[in-house]
Structure 1
Amino acid sequence: MPDWEYATDVVVVGSGGGLCGAVTAAVHGLETLVIEKEPLIGGSTAMSGGVLWLPNNPLMRAEGVPDSFDEAMAYFDSVVGEVRPASSKERRAAYINEGVNMIRFLQDLGMSFRRCEGYSDYYAEMRGVVGYSSRGRSIEPTVTDGNELGPWLAKLRPGIAASLGVVVFTGESAALQTIKRSPRAVTTAAKVAARTAAGKLKGESRLANGAALVAQALKIAIEHEVSIWTETPLVDLVVENGRVTGVVAKRCGRDIRIRANRAVLLSSGGFAQSAEMRQRYSMQPNSGAWTVASPGDTGEVIEAAIQYGAASDLMDDAWWIPASVMPDGRPAPHVGERSKPGSIIVDQTGDRYFNEALSYMEAGRQLYARNESTGGKAVPSWLIMDGRNRSRYLFSFQPNTPDEWISSGYMKRADTIEELARQCGIDPVRLSATVDRFNGSARQGVDPDFHRGEGAYERYMGDALHKPNPALGPVEKPPFHAVALYPGDVGTSGGLLSDEFARVLDTEQRPIAGLYATGNCTATVMGHAYPGAGASIAASFVFAYIGMKHAAQVASRSR
């Protein structure tokens, strides 16, 4: 067996939530190396909203927002439901309890967060659900000056703020969608503009959202002498006598063997960008064309661990977000648009089949469920909006309808519902009947079929100025518009099975010595649900923290 070219205590594969694990290991005295396959650091985490869903977190306590372990567990039981290995009672309890400890740990090291007030749990106030928080359990990083990273700033994957050209908090996005009609939205926009301008005047490279989260964690990792190698993909694991003792990685064009004396933490993405794995595991149709996950989400890390006996679960699921396909072929996720009055979603037969304002993951699951029950009549579905809706609210961050959207056929437009139906290939009579039924109750602000607008999240994402139901209004004012919706996603949510200590389990449910995992390469503790904004990123950070704390404890005992 060839010699090791490099040796360290901990090897972390992936630089999203894995940075939290790297920091944890380093602070506990373990020499740590992070290997990242992409040229840029942060993966899908840097590209995200950077929100963390953490029950009973210290920011809630500081602001007097009531919560408890028991309420959070009750909410898990209501929403996630079935207890299975990936979402066992032990993993749920570890996530809630250690999430509190993790935030305190990161705050003590200099990371800074703000509460997303009003960004409610996604199932808050819905029928049959208990233990929720209507004020919300989500937090996000404060604005960060990327210049503090020095030369590492050039290695940071750009986030949402970079593409928008403004420094906006994720918790502000719902308000900004009503900027054409809400004084509150105008005030929020003014704050965003002032924040952005102030950064430029000070010569700062201001970051928000996922980029800020990764930047803050990266800064601490650098301060604690964590080594970080980019453009270094994992090739294989090294297993000796049943224990993972290191990895093989490709660096500078050749394979090198890296010894991990204490632990290997897998924190890569999932397989959202692998057409072959999507065809093999995902609900269909899905080739990965509708995902907005990091280009590095190609699944080889999951397959490497499975080769050595690792168990997997939830491989058919993902963090779904209904998306349209823009004229340039780019998928565009739609979150708040579905919650605005004057809109409706129907399948290809013209029938409405779910509450359009549900959380994005739940909406994606509804698309697939309907597609299966109708023999392929719901992918794509159609998001239909009336003229009042299009004049009042942003769509894909645009205040108006670009001519290209209409000329390319991306967005259909017609003066009548019947003509719109014909453009969409829907039976005009059937669609007209669906809209008439919907409008009859929507004018009263009620939805007897699917209860749209009853949940706190649905109202939060709606239009507070629209009465009596912020998330519901008739589709009646021409011209009418329609866009095809597909089950897009921000990453897969199934993968390696791990326990409450983030140890990867084999097919006999036994821990594989020396191997830990977190993030989208694992089967999520959230099961088939998404309890609140930032549930995926939070779980990635929490179990990275748990795993490396456990590895440090094992190392201490062995010494």
Structure 2
Amino acid sequence: MTGWDHATDFLVVGSGAGVVGAVRARALGKDVLVVEKSELFGGSTCMSGGVMWLPHNPLMRRESVPDSVDAALAYFDTVVGDAGPASSPARRLAYINSGVEMVEFLESEGLEFRRCEGYSDYYSGVRGCEGGSARGRAIEAKAFDRKRLGPWQDSIRPGVSGGLTVYTGEAGPMMLMRTRIGLAVLARVGLRTALGRIRGQRLVTNGAALTARLLQVLLRQGVDVWLESALKDLVVQDGRVIGAVLHQNGRDVRVRVREGVLLAAGGFARDKEMRERHAGGRPTSDRWTSANPGDTGETIRIAMAHGAATDMLDEAWWMPSWIMPDGTPTMCLSERSKPGAVIVDAAGRRYFNEAVAYQEAGQRMHAHEREFGGAIPSWLVVDSRHRTHYPFGMSPPGRTPEEWITSGAMKRADSLEDLAGRCGIDAGGLLKTVERFNRFAAAGADEDFHRGEGDHEKYYGDITHEPNPCLGPVSKPPFYAVALYPGDIGTSGGLLCDEFARVLDTDGTPIDGLYATGNCTASVMGRKYLGAGASIAASAVFGYVAANHASR
């Protein structure tokens, strides 16, 4: 076939964690091209905490943190269970073993990581779940000076930490601003941030640090990186993907690909039509998502048009969220785990453990809405002690912006009865629920949902609060409430792949020359989120796996 505008060995579509595949392919001596449809590099990874959940990783071994492949597989088995081919035994084993190799490889390329000590697996210590790590399997990139990227330093998508040089692994203890632990972390973060500015550095952490470090390696390796270059179609000949059509600067560019195309361009959280089509009748809205603005699903649709199979398109990385006065969704994470907080439906009933992993929290909201109604929205109710002691959204302890109240984004009342009226909650149901909840808080044991038993629940609780770091009475007026929706940080269903990251067709046969990773695929994690950075890690690992297979 003639008429090619460019040729390469390995094409990576998307610029998030999946570009690990580009780094690996170039290290194996291949000619590589990375294309990103937006004007900024980094995708959803850059907007994330940038943590990677990697069992038995080299940093754990160096610090003598116990782990094993068998423990990780037991954790998969007891938490994820049978989730279909996307989370097959072969895919799980490839993820664990290749993750170890990938970290060693990235370190050899100059990437620097740190362990997130104490950032426990999300189901460690939870009843019926085995193999979890209380100390955590998460790692993250060390702080990086964007100036080292030269002319590319302003082409990185903005991160999540604003002007602070704070690690994701520090976020939990930093929320305890009134304690010695929290103050110590705040001081460390403040000093790191100040020193960076004094030295004239442009330090980034979290997902921005990971993507900036990956971009630095790509540029050093001489890899071509094209921004504002959107995938328009794949070119298939005799059943094999041999190229791609990109839309760039108002024209189509045909790229010949000799060894493989890796799709790593995210899911469809921002595509209203796809969300509604795959929601299964559940309430859904792109107004509730905090996903990358480019998460519009065309990569999945293009692959499906060429016969690709899909799975779990009804699933997402759910994140309970409340809506700010300007309409922006705000993720609700640590607030619901702290003492003095309870979540109820419209009838005032408590229906799940508020401190569970965010994906499961969203699933519980959907399930309750489907069975009983009144869960979308649900209501997070906190008392004044909670507002005095803990941050809420981006507001520090003790400060509640008046705009939140006057706009109705947050409700405030001097009694629970009055608060119920302002929220449209059944007052009698709320009073009955809070009375029972407060008895649990006094005893330190949640008889209904076991809140505070899991290690991750304790991590986001208040370790200075006894007898249970997650349970405290909702008793001190005034009381506050926000409406919670099943927001998300991206979809987690998509193209079905095998253990080599090859995209499968509807007959279960690999599509020759086509690979995929990240949120455009059905996740190896199934319908669970196993630990901090599970999605970012899987994207990086299967990008690495794809490069190895294509290069063979």
User: Is the TM-score greater than 0.5?
Assistant: yes
- Kindly provide the CA deviation profile for residues 256-283 of structure 1, in whole angstroms up to 9, marking residues without a partner as x: 1110011000000100000010001135
How far is the alpha carbon of 1:345 from its aligned partner? 0.1
Residue 107 of structure 1 corresponds to 107
In structure 1, what is the equivalent of residue 48 of structure 2? Answer: 48
**SS state at 1:100 partner:** helix
Letter in 1 for 2:442: R
Distance 1:537 1:345 in 2: 29
Q: Which residue of 1 aligns with 2:67?
A: 67
Q: Deviations over 1:173-195 (max 9, x none)?
A: 1111110x211111100111110
1:104-148 per-residue CA deviation (whole Å, 9 max, x = no partner) reads: 000010001100000000001111111110110001111111111
Q: Is the 8 A contact 1:79 1:129 kept in 2?
A: yes
Q: Which runs of 5+ in 1 are unaligned?
A: 554-559
Q: Report the Cα distance in structure 1 between the residues aligned to 2:133 and 2:336, rounded to whole angstroms.
A: 22
1:409 aligns with 2:417: no
Could you tell me which residue of structure 2 aligns to residue 58 of structure 1? 58
1:556 alignment counterpart:
none
Q: Does the alignment pair 1:330 with 2:328? A: yes
Over residues 299-355 of structure 1, what are the superposed CA-to-partner deviations in whole Å (9 max), with x where a residue is unaligned? 000000000100000100000110001000000001111100000000111100000
**Residue 551 of structure 1 aligns with which residue?**
550
| Residue 152 of structure 2 is aligned to residue 152 of structure 1 | yes
How far 1:397 sits from its partner (Å)?
2.2
Selected match of 1:297 from 275, 281, 295: 295
1:158 aligned counterpart, secondary structure: coil
Pairing partner for 1:248 from 216, 228, 245: 245
How many angstroms apart in 1 are the aligned matches of 2:116 and 2:299?
Answer: 33
Structure 1 residue matching 2:547: 3-state secondary structure:
helix
SS of equivalent to 2:447: coil
Report the Cα distance in structure 1 between the residues aligned to 2:466 and 2:524, rounded to whole angstroms: 38
Contact 1:83 1:89 in 2 (8 A): no
Deviant stretches of 4+, over 2 Å: none
Q: Which residue of 2 aligns with 1:353?
A: 351
Counterpart of 1:273 (choices 249, 256, 270) is 270
- Give 1:557's aligned residue: none
Give 1:532's aligned amino acid: G
Deviations 1:224-274 (A, max 9, x none): 111000000000000000000010000110011110011000000100000
Which residue of structure 2 aligns with residue 314 of structure 1?
Answer: 312
C-alpha RMSD of the superposition: 0.8
SS at match of 1:126: coil
In the alignment, which residue of structure 2 is the partner of 1:215? 212
Give how far 1:2 is off: 5.3
Shift of 1:378: 0.4
Tell me which of 363, 388, 408 is aligned to 2:385.
388
Q: Distance in 2 between matches of 1:480 and 1:455?
A: 27
**SS of equivalent to 1:157:** coil
Between the aligned partners of 1:106 and 1:70, the Cα distance in structure 2 is: 24
The code of the aligned residue for 2:26 comes to A
TM-score by length of 2: 0.99
Work out whether residues 321 and 487 of structure 1, in 8 Å CA contact, stay in contact via their aligned partners in 2. yes
CA contact (8 A) 2:18 2:542 kept: no
Q: Map 1:100-499 to 2 at 5 A.
A: 100-161=100-161, 163=162, 165-179=163-177, 181-282=178-279, 284-374=282-372, 376-399=373-396, 400-499=399-498
1-structure distance, mates of 2:332, 2:425: 22
State the 1:17 CA deviation: 1.6
Partner Cα separation in structure 2 for residue 422 and residue 476 of structure 1: 17
Q: Distance in 1 between matches of 2:287 and 2:147?
A: 35
CA distance in 2 between counterparts of 1:552 and 1:31 reads 11
Letter of the 1:472 counterpart: L
- What are the equivalent positions in structure 2 for 1:7-18 lying under 5 Å apart? 7-18=7-18
Query: What's 1:539 paired with?
Result: 538
Superposed counterparts of 1:497-516, under 5 Å: 497-516=496-515
Deviations 1:9-41 (A, max 9, x none): 111100002210110110001100011000000
Show the counterpart of 2:28.
Answer: 28
Matched AA of 1:76? F
Q: Distance in 1 between matches of 2:37 and 2:267?
A: 13
Distance 1:62 1:167 in 2: 25
Residue pair 1:276, 1:287 contacting (<8 A) in 2 also: no
**Counterpart code for 2:484:** L
Deviations 1:63-88 (A, max 9, x none): 00000000000000011111411000
Contact 2:368/2:375 (<8 A) preserved: yes
Query: How far has the Cα of 1:443 moved from its partner?
Result: 1.0
- Check conservation: 1:325, 1:410, Cα contact below 8 A: yes
Cα pair 2:83 2:527 within 8 Å, conserved: no
Q: Percent identity?
A: 56
Q: How far apart in 1 are the matches of 2:73 and 2:285?
A: 35
- Quote the Cα distance in structure 1 between the aligned partners of 2:17 and 2:452: 34
